[in-house]
């Protein structure tokens, strides 16, 4: 690089000589580090509030209530990193689960009804993708629209009654264990691991970050921005329908109001995990840790007999604090 010296001596002594950040600092400003610290503090706090809490089995079982949202939050993390958002996931869960129930009642059998449900998830995701990508509309508005639309359709299709009477083998996934660990926990671990590896090490994972950092620069670099975003929206639909089926199994019935308000919990998990709301940054590990953090806080408050309305206040504050924290970190590291 010596040749550059004489050519550039007249340029101001400058920014190109900036020293790289020390490694400890790089690790410390990783947003999921904050999530991890929160998790430890919350766990200690909860055990201190109630002796019943420090029971691993109890925590694992509590997790099965949040599991469906947590698994959707993993894909939502990737959507937000790509610079978009999808608020319609909980409604997609409800509509796909309602279709599942109706199809089962119509005599399609569980496998057929599951296929209908998964297909509907893909179609709903594609519909969101079509509006955002082809119609060039902002995803936040589109998915608020489809949030209402899908929930409404679920009500039209399933009516106001619960649909149940599923075969015994289908229901109660949260009460099945492998080596004492509930199946939902195992599923969440495996899906997190796969998505973590995909987002962190695949070429497409890299491109998702690049799209979120600058969609225009990404397009100029030959990255298939639209195709990847389409893929993410469809993945959202698919994972939502899977989550809908898991909820159906856990609840042993479906109703149009399944998972109402769940989109906010999903966003809360993603934000708690340190994903940057404006895209380009975030990790699956962060979301994974945040899912546990949410469980620890919520169940911790329950065992400590904190009333449910106070719990909402705490969660709301938590969301705001986490957004401020990640924002501060990202602004700092971007100078």
Partner 1 sequence: METATTSSAGETVISARGISKQFAGIEVLRDVDLDFRAGEIHALVGENGAGKSTFAKILSGVHRPTRGTLALRGELVEVPNPLTAQRLGITLIHQEPVSFPDLSVAENLVLGRDQGSVLGRVPWAKITRDARESMDQLGINIKVNVPMRGLSIADQQMVEIARALASDSRLIIMDEPTAPLTPIEVETLFKIVRRLRDEGRTIIFISHRLEEVRALCDRITVFRDGNLVHTGDVAAVDDEEIIRLMIGRSLKEYIHKRRTEIGEVALEVKDLCLPGLFSDISFEVRKGEIVGLAGLVGAGRTDVARAIFGITPAHSGTIAVNGKDIGVAEPTEAIALGLAFVPEDRAAAGIFQSLSVEHNITAAVPGRIAPRGFIRHALERALANEAVQKMRIRLASLRQPIGELSGGNQQKSILARWLLTDPSVLIMDEPTRGIDVGVKSEFYDMIGELAESGRAILLISSELPELLALCDRILVMSEGRLTADLSRAEATQENVMREAVPKSGVHSPTVAA
- Binding interface with partner 1 (CB under 8 A): 1, 3-4, 7-12, 14-20, 201-204, 206-207, 209-210, 213-214, 216-224, 280-281, 333-335
Residue 17: which of 28, 30, 7, 8 has the closest Cα? 8
Give the per-residue SS3 of 280-325.
CCCCHHHHHHHHHHHHHHHHHHHHCCCCHHHHHHHHHHHHHHHHHH
> Are residues 282 and 31 in contact, defined by beta-carbon separation less than 8 angstroms?
yes
> Rounded to whole angstroms, how far apart are CA atoms 31 and 215?
23
Query: Are 273 and 32 a contacting pair, CB within 8 Å?
Result: yes
Residue 296 contacts residue 46 (beta carbons within 8 Å): yes
| Of residues 26 and 320, the one with the C-beta less far from partner 1 | 26
CB of 183 to partner 1, least distance (A): 29
Do residues 126 and 229 make contact, with C-beta atoms less than 8 angstroms apart?
Answer: no
Rank residues 111 and 335 by Cβ distance to partner 1 and give the closer one.
335
Smaller CB separation from partner 1, 41 or 221 = 221
The tokens describing 283, both together, are: 């990790």
> How near is the Cβ of 82 to partner 1 at its closest, in Å?
13
- Tell me how far, at minimum, the Cβ of 125 lies from partner 1, in Å: 22
Q: Minimum distance from CB of 227 to partner 1 (Å)?
A: 9
Minimum CB distance to partner 1, residue 17 (Å) = 7
Residues near 91 by beta carbon (within 8 Å), at least 6 away in sequence: 146, 147, 148, 149, 150, 151, 154, 263
- Smallest distance, partner 1 to C-beta of residue 29, A: 13
CB of 28: closest distance to partner 1 in angstroms?
16
| Residue 230: CB minimum distance to partner 1, A | 13
Query: 224 vs 304, which CB is nearer to partner 1?
Result: 224
**Spatial CA neighbour of 182 closest among 59, 298, 276:** 59
Nearer to partner 1, 109 or 200 (CB): 200
Tokens of 275: 């994903």
Nearest to 159 by CA among 243, 203, 219, 99: 99
Nearer to partner 1 by C-beta: 10 or 167?
10
Q: Which of residues 57 and 219 has its CB atom nearest to partner 1 in the complex?
A: 219
Q: Which is nearer to partner 1, 83 or 184 (CB)?
A: 83
Q: What residues contact 292, with CB distance under 8 A and at least 6 apart?
A: 39, 63
């Amino acid at each position: 690089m010596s040749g550059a010296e004489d050519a550039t001596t007249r340029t101001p002594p400058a920014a190109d000589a900036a020293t790289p950040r020390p490694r400890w600092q790089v690790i410390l400003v990783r947003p999921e580090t904050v999530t991890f610290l929160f998790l430890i503090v919350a766990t200690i706090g909860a055990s201190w509030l109630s002796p019943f809490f420090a029971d691993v089995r109890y925590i694992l079982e509590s997790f099965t209530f949040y599991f469906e949202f947590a698994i959707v939050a993993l894909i939502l993390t990737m959507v937000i990193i790509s610079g978009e958002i999808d608020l319609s996931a909980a409604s997609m869960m409800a509509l796909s689960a309602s279709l599942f129930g109706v199809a089962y009642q119509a005599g399609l059998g569980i496998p057929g009804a599951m296929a209908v449900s998964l297909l509907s998830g893909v179609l709903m995701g594609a519909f969101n993708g079509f509006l955002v990508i082809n119609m060039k509309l902002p995803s936040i508005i589109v998915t608020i629209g489809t949030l209402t639309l899908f929930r409404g359709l679920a009500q039209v299709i399933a009516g106001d009654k619960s649909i149940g009477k599923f075969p015994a083998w289908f229901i109660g996934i949260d009460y099945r264990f492998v080596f004492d660990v509930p199946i939902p926990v195992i599923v969440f671990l495996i899906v997190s691991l796969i998505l973590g590896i995909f987002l962190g090490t695949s070429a497409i994972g890299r491109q998702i970050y690049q799209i979120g950092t600058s969609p225009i620069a990404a397009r100029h670099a030959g990255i298939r921005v639209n195709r990847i975003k389409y893929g993410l929206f469809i993945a959202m639909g698919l994972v939502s329908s899977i989550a809908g089926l898991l909820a159906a199994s856990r609840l042993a019935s479906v109703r149009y109001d399944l998972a109402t308000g769940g989109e906010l919990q999903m966003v809360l998990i993603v934000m708690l995990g340190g994903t940057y709301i404006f895209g380009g940054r975030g990790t699956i590990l962060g979301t994974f840790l945040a899912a546990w953090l949410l469980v620890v806080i919520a169940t911790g408050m329950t065992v400590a007999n904190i009333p449910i309305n106070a719990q909402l206040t705490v969660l709301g504050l938590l969301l705001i604090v986490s957004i401020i924290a990640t924002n501060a970190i990202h602004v700092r590291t971007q100078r």
